[in-house]
Structure 1
């Protein structure tokens, strides 16, 4: 593993990079923790090997959409989303909130 890949990355820098990769037609990997506000249950870790950002929903359509990352799992074709602050890895690099 090269030195850059071992370095943590700021979460919002990672999201910007995800957008750049997606616009270029590429894919990225991410790992996040699940959280369900209705059941107040979560903690399961999800690893997506190949994802691409998709347009985010509007807050009036999906509650708190501005705080979520909307993406497509390109291996399954499923449209998914997760809470941005629960993203723990991007392309093998640990994410941090600065």
Structure 2
């Protein structure tokens, strides 16, 4: 895990996970009520209400989540963080 920035006074850490073990550590560290920021991809669909559904375009977004649940998906080796979006562009 590569630590980019650590602010102990405010309790924040900016890091880049590099291996699956790093995600396992994050699974054990992140708790309910924490705020997690990450870059994600969202699909945007226009005029879907009255027209035939079409494939939307994907955009990259930087979101902040208020954590409600953290799960480790063993079959896909993914860390899934569920919560409410608290910051978005």
Name the TM-score, length of structure 2 as normaliser.
Answer: 0.39
Greater Rg over alpha carbons, structure: 2
Higher helix share: 1
TM-score, length-normalised on structure 1? 0.37
